[in-house]
Structure 1
Amino acid sequence: MPPASPLQSAAKLHQQQDLIPVDSDSQVVDTRVLRIVDANANRSLEGLRVIEEYLRFVLDDPHLTECCKQLRHNLADRLSVIPASQRFMARDIAGDVGREITTEQEQKRPLTESVLVASFQRVKQGLRCLEEYLKTLNAPNTPQLESLRYEVYELEKSVGITFHSQQRLSDARLYVLMDGGDNEQQLISLTQRLISADVDMIQLRDKRLEDGPLLERARLIRNLTAGSSTLFFVNDRPDIARLSGADGVHLGQSDMCLHDARKIVGTEGLIGISTHSLEQALQAVGDGANYVGVGPIFPSTTKNFDTFPGLELLNSVALQISLPVFAIGGIDQHNLPQVLGTGCSRVAVSGAVLQADDPDRMAQAFQLQLQA
């Protein structure tokens, strides 16, 4: 065996001088590693708390707040493998050479979102440091820390998509679902009337048309909505949405999964999910949906349903998530106040507008109620 280098010998001597007992069996651990563990445990826990406060008071999202809180408690539990007393004994604030090292960027947070972004970075970096240095102590919870780090990645994704979706759909209140019409001229006329009535979102939902005609209809609507404030979505078909240049796609529970649809429509395409239970709505948040449709709320004149989760479900979803929520199913001007009473201010309608004698005037009437 070759002789140890001077650097290796010095490191070994230094390590021997920085050991403290961990328990009554006289096991010892490098205090320098304990200092790293202590600093990054504090960094990670503090960062999660900062994130939690944003989710609670800024995003106002009970579901994501609970997810973050559970992560924080799980991390504290994983860290219990190193007794707090040992961390305290190794802590040396006065001797921390990095204590006074700061950057100008750290002193500036122009937006509350800047605090959120910086905190996520702090937590991820802290968890990686914990994961790596605890390996040198043969800590049994290292794999669980890796799992927690991936959970933080998932939380960051859900928070980021929720924030982005709120921005993209901030003014969207009225979502009108329509078929491809009997002919192109009829479709063009109706689409133009809806756009002039300031309908926020239009969805092409047609089970009759073959792929070719469906794509042609989708491209017509896209051309008409381009340059307007009206967003255009295609029902069920990410491929048609992508080829037509639509703003997004809407998927049902039995359609292509969101993960696969995202590969088709890309990162700029919006994806909505139909949900019929609170569990499905929460899953949609985790999967990365940009909005959820919740229903059916009432019996519909355009689609048959076996059950009606109704206003109770809508209220539960509206109270739990801050992702944009659209109530759907049998909504008209008469029962709209009941929908608004749940805290949901977005609706998706079809027959109530399209079967009216004057669709654009009915759409305007809906907008007045929704914006009141």
Structure 2
Amino acid sequence: MLTLDEGNVGQWLREHGLDPTDLFDRVGKLHSGRSAVDSAYHGDSQREGEYGRPVNLDIPLDTPLDITPDSPLDNPLDNQGEKNVVAAKKPAVHTGAVPRLLDAAGNRAGEALRVVEDYVRFLRDDAVLTRASKAFRHELGDLLKQLPQRERFAFRETENDVGTEIEAAGEYERSGIDEVLAANFSRLQESLRSLEEFSKIAYPHLARSFERLRYRCYTLQKEIAGFPEHNRADHCETAGRTTDLQVKNETRAHRTFGSDSAQSPRKPGPPGGATDSLRSIFNLETKKRLRESRLYVLIDAKDTEDTFAEIVRELIGAGVDVLQLRDKSRDDRTLLRRGRTLRELTVDTGTLFIMNDRPDLAIACEADGVHVGQEELDVRDVRAIVGPERLIGVSTHSLEQARKAIRDGADYIGVGPVFPSSTKEFGAFVGTELLRQVAAIDPEIPAFAIGGIDEARLLEIIGAGFHRIAVGAAVLAAKEPGNVVKKMKTGLTGTELSDGGLGDGG
């Protein structure tokens, strides 16, 4: 019964300015002269119509009601003499409906993020979380800018939005600050889901980006709401020894997100406390740097610490984006020492540090991430060890392996070996054809072509749709590694690039 239905039908009618009780009463009087409400309450109508035919209460919610003078409500007999209560017809969606919806969802998401940012800025007085929230908001804004702006504004009809007059229970009441924060995170997540789903219709290339932003929103909420300020202070009071590297990391975080005040870096807390919790926020910036990376160099441990440090400094100075420590011949202690040196040298630079194969050493060295091959732990197992804050890269040698790595949550992939390599032996080489195939998978996941690549091969790599490479001997065996790095970077960035992943250069 319409008047008794508190579910979807009744709600839909009210949203369209119709009173279910009045409408159903009108139907009943039209056919019998008796109020349908009376019939319903006297138990002789239930889910049967007044004339013994079922009333269709399962009409799709997007079906418009026709209640014009010529509609079946005033003329109950159709062409076949059958009695209809409501004429169902295929709904017509206005051409501007989707842009209008995306515009509204984007506005809601931005507003919710501003509330979150104001909370950590003014109520928590936390510079790191403020910068993290602001970076998140700006990233959302960048995505929304990829929607046709003229359409967004042309179809905006706030004054005619039927939802503006609907008031939910408790909408204008909040029991406290925590409820304000929770409500706006919910609003943000729901808006991102709406952006994700409806962008699939007209802008499918943005859908996955909105999805990833939604997942990161859950992490941001955990960092902000899951570790209250008073607990943070308690942990900091009982924190253990602060290492020089921890202080550098804290300073780096404040520099990354900016600081308008002269306050000193926050004292790091114990494992699982404030500092570890905030590191997953730092991953937002780490991933941004990864997306901007073009040249990835694999380096071995070298014979001495001094030789290792010297080559690392030269590569960083030349502009290498990513350095991976990879040496199968060295013992764990040597790798740990080299890793800590590499961390010390890269922590205040734009160069990322990746540890090869060893999640445990990646944690011990405080690396930015870890890279694994097809024979090592899979992405899920590595993630369980290193947590959400570190990058995970995977070597792939086929289209299916690339797809699996992305599905499993890899932050980036290596694709190869493209050509024969002097540093690693393979029985087969994938060539540039695999690069072309992988470039079409996911425009958001950075992918690096690897294997036998040198300056002479750059045009082949770029021609296959990749502008990211990983190299070893081509740089390290050169007389002037720094100059080779500069030439390769120029070759990789000398073509027109757009912001993205595989599609703009893998």
For 1:360 and 1:179, the matched residues in 2 are separated by 16
Q: How does 1:64-103 map to 2 (within 5 A)?
A: 100-101=165-166
For 1:234 and 1:330, the matched residues in 2 are separated by 21
Give 1:78's aligned residue.
Answer: none
For 1:280 and 1:15, the matched residues in 2 are separated by 66
Give 1:138's aligned residue.
Answer: none
For 1:257 and 1:16, the matched residues in 2 are separated by 62
Shift of 1:266: 1.4
Give 1:69's aligned residue.
Answer: none
Matched, 1:364 2:486: yes
For 1:288 and 1:217, the matched residues in 2 are separated by 28
Give 2:427's aligned residue.
Answer: 306
Whether contact under 8 Å (1:158, 1:288) holds in the other structure is no
Matched, 1:181 2:204: no
Q: Percent identity?
A: 41
RMSD of aligned residue pairs (Cα, Å): 4.3
The structure 2 residue matched to 1:156, chosen from 211, 217, 222, is 211
With over 3 angstroms needed to count, the CA separation of the structure-2 counterparts of 1:358 and 1:123, relative to structure 1, is closer
| Structure 1: gaps (5+ residues) | 1-9, 60-96, 105-113, 125-151
Shift of 1:199: 0.3
CA deviation digits over 1:103-151, x for unaligned, max 9? 99xxxxxxxxx99961416889xxxxxxxxxxxxxxxxxxxxxxxxxxx
SS at match of 2:328: coil
Shift of 1:282: 1.5
Whether contact under 8 Å (1:311, 1:342) holds in the other structure is yes
The structure 2 residue matched to 1:229, chosen from 331, 334, 350, is 350
The range that moved more, 164-173 or 212-221, is 164-173
Whether contact under 8 Å (1:174, 1:200) holds in the other structure is yes
Matched, 1:120 2:224: no
Matched, 1:260 2:378: no
CA deviation digits over 1:319-340, x for unaligned, max 9? 2211111000000000111001
Matched, 1:350 2:350: no
Give 1:196's aligned residue.
Answer: 317
For 1:17 and 1:122, the matched residues in 2 are separated by 46
For 2:371 and 2:479, the matched residues in 1 are separated by 28
| Structure 2: gaps (5+ residues) | 1-36, 63-90, 92-97, 107-142, 145-161, 172-186, 198-206, 217-282, 495-506
For 1:122 and 1:179, the matched residues in 2 are separated by 45
SS at match of 2:165: coil
Whether contact under 8 Å (1:158, 1:286) holds in the other structure is no
For 1:14 and 1:181, the matched residues in 2 are separated by 88
Give 1:38's aligned residue.
Answer: 61
For 1:347 and 1:226, the matched residues in 2 are separated by 22
With over 3 angstroms needed to count, the CA separation of the structure-2 counterparts of 1:260 and 1:359, relative to structure 1, is same
For 2:460 and 2:483, the matched residues in 1 are separated by 22
> For residue 191 of structure 2, what is the amino acid of its counterpart?
A
SS at match of 2:291: coil
* Residue-pair matches, total: 275
Shift of 1:101: 2.1
With over 3 angstroms needed to count, the CA separation of the structure-2 counterparts of 1:362 and 1:16, relative to structure 1, is farther
With over 3 angstroms needed to count, the CA separation of the structure-2 counterparts of 1:357 and 1:98, relative to structure 1, is closer
Shift of 1:211: 1.4
For 1:185 and 1:178, the matched residues in 2 are separated by 14
SS at match of 2:383: helix
For 1:369 and 1:17, the matched residues in 2 are separated by 82
> For residue 277 of structure 1, what is the amino acid of its counterpart?
S
Whether contact under 8 Å (1:258, 1:288) holds in the other structure is yes
Give 2:233's aligned residue.
Answer: none
Shift of 1:318: 0.9
With over 3 angstroms needed to count, the CA separation of the structure-2 counterparts of 1:166 and 1:243, relative to structure 1, is closer
The structure 2 residue matched to 1:242, chosen from 350, 359, 363, is 363
- When the two structures are superposed, what TM-score results if normalisation uses the length of structure 1? 0.63
> For residue 166 of structure 2, what is the amino acid of its counterpart?
I
Give 1:75's aligned residue.
Answer: none
Shift of 1:50: 6.2
Whether contact under 8 Å (2:192, 2:213) holds in the other structure is no
For 1:341 and 1:14, the matched residues in 2 are separated by 75
With over 3 angstroms needed to count, the CA separation of the structure-2 counterparts of 1:219 and 1:101, relative to structure 1, is same
Whether contact under 8 Å (2:192, 2:211) holds in the other structure is no
For 1:196 and 1:15, the matched residues in 2 are separated by 86
> For residue 118 of structure 1, what is the amino acid of its counterpart?
S
For 1:15 and 1:192, the matched residues in 2 are separated by 88
Give 2:251's aligned residue.
Answer: none
With over 3 angstroms needed to count, the CA separation of the structure-2 counterparts of 1:101 and 1:305, relative to structure 1, is same
CA deviation digits over 1:12-45, x for unaligned, max 9? x6797996579xx97778x4xx47x737xx9xxx
CA deviation digits over 1:236-283, x for unaligned, max 9? 111111110000001111111111111222111011111111111121
The range that moved more, 167-176 or 186-195, is 167-176
SS at match of 1:345: coil
For 1:362 and 1:200, the matched residues in 2 are separated by 14
Based on CA coordinates, which of the two structures has the bigger radius of gyration?
A: 2
With over 3 angstroms needed to count, the CA separation of the structure-2 counterparts of 1:208 and 1:123, relative to structure 1, is closer
> For residue 493 of structure 2, what is the amino acid of its counterpart?
Q
| More contact order relative to length (CA 8 Å, sep ≥ 6) | 1
Give 1:7's aligned residue.
Answer: none
Whether contact under 8 Å (2:326, 2:356) holds in the other structure is yes
> For residue 421 of structure 2, what is the amino acid of its counterpart?
S
Greater percentage in strand: 1
